[in-house]
A and B are shown apart, each in its own frame.
Chain A
């Protein structure tokens, strides 16, 4: 009898071992892949590489974190790769979350927002309605008056293409202001910047750069975040002007659904500590961006809000029913 109990007990113990072959006291015991759904050299890639070096110091194991660039498919290919990877915490992704909010509505991908679990929000990418520095329009009110007087003449570009989160944000802005602007799509930031400097279009919706001696002067920030410069202290945000909309373009880290909660917590804590690391603080300064920490639940909530707004706008744009 005793022997039977013992053997059953042993079997249970052994089964238990089979259930969790990964020992998270030593995590990461093998290299963690951090997917970046873009090619190398961009902001996300630079942040991912910098964090990869630092975060490892705040985890118990000592296997490295490797940045894997998976560009293409309007940045859906990298996300699909994360969705397909094992959810054991050894594959995560860092990205601006817009693609998660928009793409599932277009029904071209086999995943939804629910297939992922946010780990942490690292920063909020600022975006303002900009004009050229030498433009006679000095502030938001003047611009609004001008666009009301001549609807559909103010031509602007957004940093993303049709149906991207920046395009959608500007649709909402026009709705809230009850004005009509003309959106001109460009393949990439370079071509649109050239058109703006050449006077072919009048404005854009992206990060202003007069603080770096550039030509883009903001009229109004649609996001709560601004580049860290005193120059923008007096530039109002959309909410400050009394409008009921705040765009938000967070960049964060996500894992596939079903990743063990203790791993999510470990990664979250490590990334959070890394945000205070001098190396990472310097990185934020180089980009003139302020760290914007978000807990997994906070980021999750924000993504769901953005996703709902995106769906609403895509219907209005006639891109989905």
Chain B
């Protein structure tokens, strides 16, 4: 596989890969900016490059941003992207109590493992997995979304009532926009800015960045940071890697699987990965208190999603995520039509792309080690400087993403609301996940029924659907039973 030609091609593409990675990690780490802005920035440049180089550079942005998002989640308690939010659950306690370097190290190793895993699945099993993904219809996607919602609702430390309130609020906000089936606007208050639903970047910045800045201001903003620079090292010992290997594998599998499903959105993979790692974890009590598995699993999932989302695109020409859809533009402009015929007719191109993709992941590891220590120094910046810087940067990011002033107010309003709700103990994670899942769940449910002409049999008609339905029903019954038991115990006491 590694012939001279490929090595020669790769050497030529290394600068592009490093540029893409730098932009990706940097923009991913800055709240609000994120990979879409990074890809947009490099897109014009890519038009003048050759096909492989252009595509590798944009994929490097994607890969880098998936990792970069978790740097700020751990260091600043502000996930750079919505996908990095679950990393906070364990990343922040570990950084605060033990060592930020360790937390970042787990994050980097998890990301690299996930990226490589995704790449290898892509190289070896592209066609069969793509065909498998096609077999899943709307009924199955609806059930998967429902399962994700149930699984994650159980994660929060908050009381069940508050969790449910947060979920319902998220589902409500998720319905904002023009309804796909009827074309009628829902909860838009006549504002065209809300026709396509609230801008997710504005939502993430409001929920996490603005509310965190307000928390910083509310707490002692002039308190000096005391971080030992020695704790910034991102090395992991062999034992530590061994210990988290299973969680990395779980996360990567979940990441590839959700990335492959077109339209399901790679945004939820890290949440499901976290829930799965917790269920399979050796020491469940550690989760939420700085468990390494809680960091590596979602991080691995995020980066495995890149390979996963690329898979149906290369195999069938169907982009698996919004970012791949933008990268698709680079394919078209270079006259490359993804699909089965590309795999057959241009094996050289595919081979260069695959090897380049693996090299990108390896480069990310080294780039990450270098950049992460720089970013981690943010912790030593006094909060009185850090807070306004974050506010300004993240609001810039929101504006760049859409060019709408409305989105700035949206981020600001959500930030204030979140600051208050956080103080009252409502889990923000449940809210954002419900918001992301709402359109997937609702649309696939209604579409499944449109296709089946109103017959609910479609939800148990295929073996996959039947298994998923039974699992969901079991989970709901179990949760209800637990709740009744708990309430009964409370009333007795």
Contact = CB atoms under 8 A, between A and B. Distances in A.
A162 B44 CA distance: 33
A287 B337 CA distance: 10
Interface in B149-200: 178, 180-183, 185, 190, 192-196, 199
B180 A195 contact: no
A198 B337 contact: no
A213 B182 CA distance: 35
B263 interface: yes
A46 B332 CA distance: 10
Nearest to B181: A185
A6 interface: no
B44 A49 contact: yes
B439 interface: yes
Interface stretch (A7-15, A36-44, A141-149, A229-237): A36-44
Q: Tell me which of B340, B403, B450 has the highest count of chain A C-beta atoms within 10 A of its own C-beta.
A: B403
Interface string A66-98: 001111111011001000000000000000000
Interface string A29-59: 0000000000111110110010000000000
Given A39-B326, A194-B312, A213-B345, A68 B403 contact: yes
Contacts of A1: none
B183 A161 contact: yes
Interface in A286-304: 286-287
Interface string A100-114: 000000101100000
Contacts of B138: 195, 200
Interface in A94-136: 106, 108-109
Contacts of A76: 192, 195
A77 B180 contact: no
A319 interface: yes
Contacts of A208: none
B335 A198 contact: no
B329 A45 contact: yes
B450 A190 contact: no
B322 to A, nearest CB: 9
Interface stretch (B60-68, B128-136, B464-472): B128-136
Interface residues of A, number: 49
Nearest to A197: B134
A191 interface: yes
A33 B403 CA distance: 14
B320 A73 contact: no
A188 B137 contact: no
Chain B binding surface, main DSSP class? helix
A294 B402 CA distance: 31
Contacts of B413: none
A162 B329 contact: no
B76 interface: no
Contacts of B327: 41
Interface in B325-377: 325-330, 332-333, 335, 337, 339-342, 345
B32 interface: no
Contacts of A287: 332
A228 interface: no
B8 to A, nearest CB: 26
Contact of A49 (B47, B136, B340): B47
A24 B442 CA distance: 53
Interface in B294-336: 312, 316-320, 325-330, 332-333, 335
A185 B447 contact: yes
A198 B137 contact: yes
A49 B45 CA distance: 12
A75 B301 CA distance: 33
Given A39-B36, A42-B329, 5 more contacts: A73-B195, A185-B181, A188-B263, A191-B262, A213-B340
User: What are the 8 closest A-B residue pairs judged by CB atoms, nearest first?
Assistant: A213-B341, A41-B329, A73-B192, A198-B134, A162-B183, A191-B263, A41-B326, A212-B337
